[in-house]
Each structure stands twice: as structure tokens, then as C-alpha cells.
Amino acid sequence: MRYFLFLLLCLLPARLSADFADYTYDPTIIEVDVELALMVDVSRSMTPNELEIQRHGYAAALTSADVMDVIEQGFLGRIAVAYVEWAGPGNHRVVVDWMTIGSMDEARQFAAALMETRPFGMQRTSISSALDFAADLIEDNGFQGLRRVIDVSGDGPNNSGDPVAAARDRALSRGIVINGLPLMTAEGVGSRWTIDDLDAYYRDCVIGGQGAFVIPVASWEEFPTAVRQKILLEIAAIQPRIMRASSVIPAAGTAPGTYDCMAGEKVWDRFRQNWEP
């Protein structure tokens, strides 16, 4: 095992190898290619139809032949995945706790566990709380991944809890990459307190880390394909022979780095003031 790890570090890009220069083998830790926390928005702005589409989309992506092929081609041939639904501060539901996926049977077991219960909505939208929860979940999961990723999807900006940029920076300081799937579908009541260029907001305020990217979803018909593409990129990112997402997918609206990361809180304040007697 130690000889294998030495060869692995030699094969990795120099920048990534440096991250593991102080790696110490621990026989109690399960080694995987990627630790992937899937953080899925179930705030009340999401309709029951959207909640069902999300679960079906992730289940289908994880059991697709394309995703399984990339997993099997990894250095270790397995990943660790958890699926968490989130809304406001402290509102997190671990639907499927950490499981390894290294075969189609394991992928189907994960998908079956995901579909055992029906999703239900919770109040408010706190991306910051979701990021903090995911980072803690990754730290204490009993796995050692060559890459640690938070995959966060949502249909609106942060409007509750700590500022999102601070939570993003906390996760990045722990060596975790954050990728985003902004849902710009304008279905249900969420349009009251969302923003038009949610992809730009995710680009500037939510994602971060080496190779971080955004894949915006403009309609629910696009969702299954977008989820599969995102998971493929996240798994393949550690493999030098496979193209990785080296930059953010172009976002609408503002120039990079200029978005107001408190935009969601400001929209919520205006909405609340309009409804106060």
C-alpha cells in the first residue's frame, strides 16, 4: 500500500501532489478517489415536483454507465458519497449517509436508499449553513479521499444564516472544493425572492477551490443531463488522463468577481418589508 501511494503521488500533478505530501497511512480509514457530499436544496421555494425530479436525477446519474465507467477508471476505483437535503440554518436532513460506490451493485444500493423516502420542503435558504454542515460531514466520515468535494444545488441565493462567502472560505480553508448547480427554472413560488443571474451569484459567491465550476440548469428537462455531467466532472477531476473542469462554465449577467454576495439577504429584506403591516 505504501509503495502504491508513492507511485500515486508521482503520477499526480505537482500542485495536487503537494496537498498529499504529508499523507500518513491509517489502516482504520477507507481510501477513496473522491469524498462527494451532495447538498440538495429542499427549501419551500421548491415544488413537490422539483423535489422528486432532483432525487430521481441523482439516482439515475449515479447508476449510469458513464459515471460507473469513470469511477472504475479511478486510482482506487471507488468513491464515497452522501446525500443531504438542506434549507434554512440548521435544517439539514441526511437522506443517505456515507456509502462507497465502486461497482454497479453499490451504486444501485445507494440509489435504492435514496428513493426509499419521499422528500419534503423546509423553510428558508441558507447555503452558508449547508456548506458548513457538509464540511463537517466530510471531516468526520471515516474516509480519506484524494479529492474532497461539496456539490451544492439550489434555486435561490443565501437569504438566512451567516453570509455565504464566509462559509465558502471556511470550507476552502479545509481543502474542500465546492461546485454548484444553480436551478434557474422559475417554477413555483421561488421567483419572489430569487435573482435572475443565479449562475453568476454561484460563480462569485458559492463555488471555489481548484477546478471549481458551475453548471446552470435553465429547465427541469435539462436537470438529469446536468447532474450526470457534474458528477462525471467531479469524479474525473483527479485523473490526469481525463479532461477536468479547469474553469467555471460561463455565467450570465455580471463580470467575474463583481457580484454582490449579500444579494439574497437584500431581496429577502425587501420582500419582508413589503409584507409587513
> Residue 234 falls within a domain, yes or no?
yes
> Residue 193 falls within a domain, yes or no?
yes
What phi-psi label fits residue 36: left (phi over 0), alpha (psi between -120 and 50 degrees) or beta? beta
Q: Which pLDDT value is given to residue 191?
A: 52
Q: Which amino acid is at 174?
A: R
Contact 145, 33 (CB under 8 A): yes
> Residue 36 falls within a domain, yes or no?
no
- Quickly state the pLDDT bin for 29 (edges 50, 70, 90): confident
> Residue 124 falls within a domain, yes or no?
yes
- Does residue 2 have a pLDDT over 50? no
Counting Cα atoms < 13 Å in the Cβ hemisphere of 168 gives: 21
pLDDT tens digit sequence for 178-190: 999 999 886 655 5
Q: Spell 1-18 as b/e; 16+ CB within 10 A means b.
A: eeeeeeebbeebeeebee
Q: Which pLDDT value is given to residue 31?
A: 96
Domain count, the chain: 1
> Residue 12 falls within a domain, yes or no?
no
Mean pLDDT, to the nearest integer, of 114-125? 81
Contact 15, 210 (CB under 8 A): yes
- Does residue 269 have a pLDDT over 70? no
Give the structural domain span for 263: 41-275
Fill in the DSSP letter of residue 145.
Answer: E
Mean pLDDT, to the nearest integer, of 196-203? 90
- Residues linked to residue 96 through DSSP beta bridges, in sequence order: 83
pLDDT tens digit sequence for 213-264: 999 998 889 999 999 999 999 988 644 333 333 344 555 556 677 778 887 6
Task: Give the torsion through C-alpha atoms of 134, 58, 91, 47, to 10 deg.
Answer: 150
Q: What is the CATH number of the domain that holds 220?
A: 3.40.50.410
- Quickly state the pLDDT bin for 165 (edges 50, 70, 90): very high
> Residue 32 falls within a domain, yes or no?
no
